[in-house]
Structure 1
Amino acid sequence: MNRLMTILERYFLPVANRIGKQRHLMAIRNGLIATLPLTIIGSVFVIFLNIPIDGYEELISGFRPILDVPFRFTVGVMALYAAFSIGHFLGESYKVDPLTSGLLSVLGFLISTIVPIQIIDEGQQIISTGRYLAVGDLSSTSLFGAIITTIITVEIYRILVQKNITIKMPSSVPPAVSKSFAALIPTLVIVLLFWGIKYGLNFDINGVVTTLVSPLKNLLVGNNLFGGILTVLLIQLFWSFGIHGEAVLGPIIRPMWDAAILENIEAFQASGNAHDLPNLFSEQFLQWFVQIGGSGTTLALAILFLTSKIPSIKQMGKLTIVPGIFNINEPIVFGTPIVMNPILVIPFIFCPVILTIISYIATISGFVPMMMAKLPFTMVGPIGALMSTNWSVGAMVLAIINFGLAILIYYPFFKLFEREQYKSQQEV
């Protein structure tokens, strides 16, 4: 184990740190995190549109189209919001105007991705062209295309600004007006570029990017057990060195996580069947079934700490139990510490892997549905599992069973840790 940790620390961590701090990946991560309130609120409306109470469906039937509006304009057009927020953060990192960066990113995305629909009358005559957009094209299916077009757009804008290829106004002109004129040439370049690619070359950026990313996405967040285990294992290994696992992997996997849950939400909204959704290993699957109390399922360890007869360990349990209930585990990870701890790091790494396998089997066997909503990560585990799976009691039961298994897995290592702490205190 020590040999493996040394190899990872020497060769793997430096590369991972560089990836995690890469400008474009950080902008993607921050931009997608910025859309979190929209996703959560959209998910809440999906949940309450499908409460399993007799007569509820009939009660809201006359209002369903209206109640569906918040979902359509949050989750349903998420790629549009992502283009703006990612463009904003990327422009900010380059110290060019963030607002212009976001607006131009939306422009580039719309021109390159969206084909205006035609309105045809009963006689098959075209009565309108180019005045209406298909809202479905702005959903999760275009998320990766939005990311790529945003990066291209902001890079073009940044280069033109840095090369002073802009219209400069006198210093007496208000800043807002000056920035608007400075964006004229970049706007023209971006329009001509994406217009030419889409309609001149007949090249679909979004379609190509989605096709290229699909194999990796299907591996990590689809229904592949190996990919699910790999994701969990990498997160835990980073945490074992004191590095926030989700923060390091986030720039790479968060777009896939977000696309996965958005696809699930949209598929559920269309079918109403949470057992037949595209993606099993969403972030929510890990949150509610695997990372109970935070990465490493550390709430189980906090509860065991409360039973300790050693005052310092029991005090650590008291300090970490409440944050752990709400899935905040930095106090126990760094306070114990679990980081680089040769005893506790073993269950910290392998307990989530075991729970991933158990939860995968429970899902594919039909005992629990897949995740169809995105809730705040601070939601109490079993309740989050219940609500995120279309009110599945089986999902809540699985979360409780997994938590009990986590306590059993941690127990022998906790006792060994307790014994070592007792010895060290006796020697002082």
Structure 2
Amino acid sequence: MMTFIERFIMPIAVKVGNNRHLLAIRDALIGMIAITMVGSFAVLFNNLGQVIKPYGRMMEYIFGPAWTTLGGDIWFGTFAFMTVFAVFGISYKLARSYDDDGFEAMLVAAACFFLLLPQVGNVTLTVNEETVSGGAWGFVSVNYFNATALFTGIIVALVATEIFVRLARVKFLVIRLPDGVPPAVARSFAKLIPGMATIFIAGVFGLLFRKVTDGQILNDWLGKVIVSPLQSAVDSLPFAILLVFLVHLLWMIGLHGPNILGGITTPLFESSGVTNIDLYAKGVTDMSEYGVLAGSFLDAFVYLGGSGATLGLIIAMIIAGRKRYKQMIALGGAPGIFQINEPILFGLPIVLNPIWFIPFVLGPVITTVISYLAVSSGIVFPIVAKIPWVTPPIIGGYLATGGHASGAILAGINLIISTLIYLPFVYAQVRIDSKNKPELTKDTDTLSL
């Protein structure tokens, strides 16, 4: 199996993990963590008042009836412009991978994104008790800036940056100024024509696209044709099982599964996670409108102690092999509480160790199935807040579900299940080590003689 994985799976995984476009997407979205975290917690704190009534009454008593205004403002300054931040970040990261400074590239990409948005919005006004509706210039829906347009923003950022960088390498398009000109001015003029040409190409494309599609906006068309079917396929149990299986299969051969697949999964999870947060901020109570496999789902319910739910392994070691694994428990215990499990993965080791293959892969798959069914059936509240991946288990489940006890209970149950799955393998490893120890001692004595 290891030979098959190394020969056929590892080369593909390495190519995917090193793809500059996927890396740009992943790094940009991860780099936005300060924005997404503060916006998520703002929504969480606002809605905790509905879950924990004494907390809500206390906040209203201290700050007045409008105590949620601050949280609403923070949400508007973060999640409402999620795609705009992503366009800047992705374009910058991609341009940097081509050894470009990235500044002009991200501005040009942002201009291309904005010019592809609708300029006229449908507005309904009430004048003298009469309702008037029609198009009004400059009224653009926030849905063209938030996570709803994230897929469009990613495509525009990648394509615009590719065009800009390639045009900037064409010598006759570069304007050379005398040496006495300040460097900042010289750099700006050097990429003047490539930047203008890129924006012009995007404008022509947008015009032709609207002609061909009878006036449809690119984002609306992509939403109907690609995004909606893709999100439906992603937010499914088979996809969840496949993703978790691949992540842990890659870990078993020493490759960082979440990082390799992050360029594909991060935008999908971020988009669905932000959609859930927006629904929660609006007070939507219909659980069927929320996505299941969204945002911090895996961090809250599956990666308990890190990939492989290795906190369960540490607990199993304490139960079945405290003396044998004393140093490993001390080394990996504290980091494992905060979802950091490299000491266990490479110190035990789990990587390239066949005996740990079954529990390391099987445990997360089982907890993924349990978690997905629990959330989709409405037993557990869906993910409505983004949590840092280092949040300890159970606490993470509580916070990610907006302060609902059901999230903490599910995480606790999954931790127990993971421990029970690891337990027989720990017993087996202890017995194997016990049998091997006398043989090693005998061989050592013979060698010394």
Task: State the TM-score bracket (shorter-chain normalisation).
Answer: over 0.9
TM-score in terms of structure 2 length: 0.88
Deviation at 1:310, TM superposition (A): 6.5
Distance 1:261 1:294 in 2: 20
Cα 1:138–1:333 shift into 2, 3 Å: same
Cα deviation for residue 155 of structure 1 reads 1.1
Q: CA deviation at 1:126?
A: 8.3
Mapped partners of 1:312, 1:168: distance in 2: 69
Q: 1:8 to 1:216 in 2, by over 3 A?
A: farther
Distance of 1:263 and 1:126 partners within structure 2: 28
| Paired letter, 2:41 | V
Q: Quick one: distance in 2 between partners of 1:181 and 1:249?
A: 39
Answer yes or no: is the 8 Å Cα contact 2:150–2:271 preserved in 1. yes
Structure 2 distance, partners of 1:226, 1:120, is 43
Deviates more, 1:175-184 or 1:268-277: 268-277
Secondary structure at the counterpart of residue 49 of structure 1: helix
1:274-285 alignment runs, 5 A limit:
275-285=287-297
The match for 1:86 among 84, 90, 96 is 90
- Tell me, in whole angstroms, the C-alpha distance in 2 between the residues paired with 1:365 and 1:200: 45
Distance 1:66 1:313, change over 3 A: closer
The gaps in structure 1 that reach 5 residues or longer are: none
Higher-Rg structure is: 2
Q: Which runs of 5+ in 2 are unaligned?
A: 211-215, 441-449
| Structure 2 residue aligned with 1:347 | 359
Structure 2 match to 1:13? 10
- Match among 280, 284, 287 for residue 268 of structure 1: 280
The alignment status of 1:315 with 2:327, answered yes or no, reads yes
For the residues of structure 2 that align with 1:254 and 1:110, how far apart are their CA atoms? 23
Taking the aligned partners of 1:83 and 1:24, their CA distance within structure 2 comes to: 13
Indicate the SS of the match to 1:366: coil
Q: Give % identity.
A: 34
AA partner of residue 170 (structure 2):
K
Aligned residue among 230, 240, 243 for 1:216: 230
Preserved contact between residue 274 and residue 370 of structure 1 (Cα < 8 Å):
no
1:174 deviation in Å?
Answer: 1.5
Residue 207 of structure 1 is aligned with which of 203, 220, 245?
Answer: 220
Describe the SS at the equivalent of 2:137: strand
User: What is aligned with 1:108?
Assistant: 112
Structure 1 contact 293–324 (Cα < 8 Å) conserved? yes
- 2:443 match: none
Do the aligned partners of residues 227 and 159 (structure 1) sit closer, same or farther apart at CA in structure 2, a change above 3 Å counting?
Answer: same
Partner residue in 2 for 1:306: 318
Paired residues of 1:82 and 1:146 also in contact (CA < 8 A):
yes
Distance 2:137 2:174 in 1: 33
Aligned to 2:190: 182
The answer to whether the 8 A contact 1:119-1:129 is kept is no
Partner in structure 2 of residue 33 of structure 1: 30
Deviation for aligned residue 1:141:
1.0
Q: 1:298 to 1:126 in 2, by over 3 A?
A: closer
- Are 1:169 and 2:177 matched, yes or no? yes
* More displaced stretch, 81-90 vs 21-30: 21-30
Report the Cα offset of residue 156 of structure 1.
1.3
Q: Distance in 2 between matches of 1:342 and 1:54?
A: 51
Give the C-alpha shift of residue 361 in structure 1.
2.1
Partner of 1:144: 151
Q: Which moved more, 1:44-53 or 1:280-289?
A: 280-289
RMSD: 2.2
Q: Separation in 2 of the partners of 1:195 and 1:278?
A: 36
Between 1:415-424 and 1:246-255, the stretch displaced more is 415-424
Contact 2:300/2:397, CA 8 A, preserved across alignment: yes
Deviation string 1:195-235 (CA, Å, 9 cap, x unpaired) is 22223431633234443244333223x1x111111111111
Give the Cα separation in 2 of the matches to 1:33 and 1:114: 29
Counterparts of 1:68 and 1:258, CA distance in 2:
20
Whether the aligned pair in 2 keeps the contact of 1:27 and 1:90 (CA below 8 Å) is yes
Give 1:406's aligned residue: 418
Aligned to 2:20: 23
1:113 to partner: Cα distance: 3.0
- Select which of 55, 67, 71 maps to 1:67: 71
